[in-house]
Every structure is written in C-alpha cells, then in structure tokens.
Amino acid sequence: MTGDPRLVVISNRVAVPKARGAAGAQGGLAGALHAALKDRKGLWFGWSGEESESGRTGHIDTQTSDGVTTATLDLSQRDIDEYYNGYANSTLWPLFHDRLDLAEYERETAKGYERVNERFAELGAPLIDAEDIVWVHDYHLIPLGERLRSRGLKNRIGFFLHIPWPATRMFVSLPYHERLVRTLLFYDVVGFQTQEWLESFLHYCENELRAEVDKASGTVTFEGRTTIARAYPIGIDWEHFSKLGENGEARQAQQRLISSTRRRIAMIGVDRLDYSKGIPERIDGIGRFFDKNPESIRDLVFIQIAPPSREDVGSYQEIRAALEQKCGQINGARSEVDMVPIRYVNRGYSHAELFGFFRGAKIGLVTPLRDGMNLVAKEYVAAQDPEDPGVLILSRFAGAAAQLKDAVLVNPHSPDDIAHAIRIALDMPLDERKRRYEKMIATVRDDNVQNWTRDFLRDLSEA
C-alpha cells in the first residue's frame, strides 16, 4: 500500500523464512503477522529463537524476503531462562490462562523480563524512523512501549494481546500488577481478542488503578494520557488458506487420512502441546464416549496432533507426561490387534497438510480450557467441503466461541459434555451441518486477518 507509513511489527517470535530459529515459530501469531506484513513494505523485529551472546554486543541479523524485512537478535541463555521460560511463560502465561496453581512469582525472572524488554528497546529504537507506525505484540513485550517512549520515540505505538486478559481478582495476585498496567497505558491503542478480555482490563483500570474509563468510546485516561482500548478479533489469512484445497499436498494429506482410517469416522485435534489447550480433558471426554457407546469403538478414530512446545518449562514437561500416560491407558484398554482408537502425534505439519487432514475429519475438536482466540477452530471450518461439512466441537472458553456460535459449544472440563457433543455431531443430519457451516464460514471469511490488521491500524493512525 503506497502512501501508508511503514509498519514496524515487534514480537517475541519472528517467522523468518529459511532462517535460524524459523522451525520453532508455531502458533497463530507468527502466521497472522506474516499475513499482516506481506501487503506492506514492513519491518519485523524480534528474537531469532536462538541462544548466543551476540545480542549483547548489539548484533542484529537482517534479511528481506517478499517485501518484508526481518531483523532479529539472539538472546543469552540467562535471558531465555528468565524472560521467555521464566516470567513470560511461567508467570504471565499461566496467570492469564487462569492457572494460578502453575504461576511462579520470582523476583529474578521479573527482573530478567524488564532487562530483555529494555534490550528490545535499545536495539529496536534505532531501526524505527520518525514516520513509522509501530505495532508491538503479546505478553512478552508489555513494557516495551514505555521503554521506547523513554528513549524519546514520538511515533504512534500500538499493542495487541493475543491471549486472554484475566479477571481482576486473579490479576491482582501478580506482584507489581499496577506497574505492568501503567506501562500498557503508554501505548496509543491496546487491542484484545474479545469483548470479555477487554472488559476485564477496563474493570482493572477503573477499580484498581482509578483511571478514567469511557466504555462508550473505548478509552482509558490516566495521568494525562489517553489510550484507546478495544476488541479486535483476529482471523485467518482467508485468501491464502481457502485456496489450499487446490493444492496437491493438501489433497494427498486428505487421501492419506481417509485411506488409513478406512471406513472409520475421523475426529481431529491440532494444538501446541500446552496445558491451556485441554488435551487430557479432551481425551477423558473421548474415553467417556467409548464407555457409553462401546459399539462405536470400531467406527471412530481420534487423531491428536500436538507438537511439543516450551519444552524447558516444568509444567509443559508434566503435561506431556500426563498426556502420554492417558493416551497409552485408553489405547491399551481399547485397542485390538487391527485397530487403535487414538493416534497421538508429537510433530507439526504444513498448513497444506493440515488443510487436508481437517477436510478428511468429520469432527474437529477444539476444546481449550482458556484461549485468547484459537485459529485452529477457524481453519477447521475453512477447510470443510461445503457440500458435506464436518462438525466443529468448540470450547465455550475459547475466544473463537464468541464468533462461532454455530459450533457445538462445550464445557471442556466436563467429560460428559464432550461425550455428549460427539454424539450430537455423529447424529447431526446433513442439512443442519450445512446450515451451521454456512453461518460459520461467513464469519471466518469476513473477519479475516487482513480486516483485523486494517481495523487496528486505522484506530492507531487516528489515535
């Protein structure tokens, strides 16, 4: 888009094609930001995913591809331990996903978080020109806007949170919670995935910070500065994703799934291996379904794709072990020599292959206990055959549930509820499946990532 100011995106993770660290870039954020940047001559700055001391010397790796320039820094092992594994993923992530039982409050990791945010500001500020629009992403970098301002940056700077914002009663358990929110109010625009997370944030601002909150205009005024705070639900790159069906790789993947399951109905789950995704609870629900419907065991197969994530964090090692045990237990008890009810796969697949698997699976299970949005739910819908669509079973606690109301909504904590939803999905007549699909596909198509970017950047330009 010529005439627009240059967009500078800053996030912890950067999807650098063919670069060191790219293999680790999973999750919806990296894909969405790549889509947001590809139409603009943008700059994307963040961590390479690599460990080395070179970031300390100010070394930045730069490369340009498809009009997007990426600039990445390495982090030292201490930085990774304290900032990424520590404060971001052992304090903020569990707290923001309502897992107070897993949240660790360590002074050292909090200091490491501040230090790395300062490092991002020190190395990022010289890359930003006076006219650029700056867009910072996610919980790793909440204080970055304030750090950039302290270096004299006058640019418009926005922030988007990809995960939920917790209820005030949970959030106040974080030591120095007020300090974190004060730094957020140095941004011109702060965006959330849903109205619910936005309202939790505004509740905190009004009741704990005693800021002036105007819900009608979506603004928070505090110490002379006004910040726009609104919900901008993220979507998929519809243009790109919906065309994957024409791709040979997708068709092959679909065929592979269908021929390997023979006449059995395939159900699928695809998640980073994370406790917030509710995978063991999902397996319990499937176990409950088999308990209640033993005659169906030969007719169904559940495929769970779960690439490991944040493997140095203890709670992630525990969830992996628990899941392996659970799958082993159900398969041990229910398999026959020629049939296994659960296929549990610890690797990632390309977007095209996932499209094929989603299309081949008649039921998609997306049952997180808490999730900012969840783009897998939207991708599952986008991959369906309009003439014979599958059924999406979706957690009511995923941000996506506010938009995909025609999914079969479930309480992911209840095995009975999940088992019941599987029954409903299996019995659902074609005309009802089509009716639900048509409503959901309209949302998935219209609320796409391009419109998300457009809406956020429009508010940021006008702020």
Residue 56 CB coordination number (10 Å): 13
Q: How far apart are CA 115 and CA 111, in angstroms?
A: 6
CB 29 to ligand F6P: min, Å: 4
- Tell me which residues in 146-175 interact with ligand F6P (CB under 6 A): 162-163
Nearest Cα neighbor of 312 from 84, 108, 14, 112 is: 84
**Is 26 a residue that touches ligand F6P (CB under 6 A)?**
yes
**Is 37 a residue that touches ligand F6P (CB under 6 A)?**
no
138 torsion bin: left (phi>0), alpha (psi -120 to 50), beta (else): left
**Is 421 a residue that touches ligand F6P (CB under 6 A)?**
no
Q: How far apart are CA 357 and CA 216, in angstroms?
A: 43
Binding mask 306-345 for ligand F6P (x = CB under 6 A): ---xx-----------------------------------
Residue nearest ligand F6P, Cβ-based: 27
DSSP for residue 243: G
First to last CA, the chain: 20
Q: How far apart are CA 66 and CA 74, in angstroms?
A: 23
Nearer to ligand F6P, 183 or 374 (CB): 374
Q: How far apart are CA 241 and CA 200, in angstroms?
A: 32
Nearer to ligand F6P, 23 or 216 (CB): 23
Helix axes 415-427, 279-292, angle to 10 degrees: 60
Binder of ligand F6P out of 7, 8, 13, 374 (CB under 6 A): 13
Nearer to ligand F6P, 22 or 123 (CB): 22
CA angle 335, 341, 346 (to 5 degrees): 115
Candidates 23-31, 144-152, 323-331, 401-409; binding stretch for ligand F6P (CB under 6 A): 23-31
Residue 412 CB coordination number (10 Å): 27
DSSP for residue 62: E
Q: Supply 246's token pair.
A: 């024409």
CB 234 to ligand F6P: min, Å: 9
Q: How far apart are CA 376 and CA 297, in angstroms?
A: 26
CB 328 to ligand F6P: min, Å: 26
CB 265 to ligand F6P: min, Å: 31
- Tell me which residues in 176-205 interact with ligand F6P (CB under 6 A): none
CB 241 to ligand F6P: min, Å: 17
Candidates 25-33, 51-59, 283-291, 438-446; binding stretch for ligand F6P (CB under 6 A): 25-33
**Is 79 a residue that touches ligand F6P (CB under 6 A)?**
no
**Binding stretches for ligand F6P (CB under 6 A):** 13, 26-30, 138, 162-163, 309-310
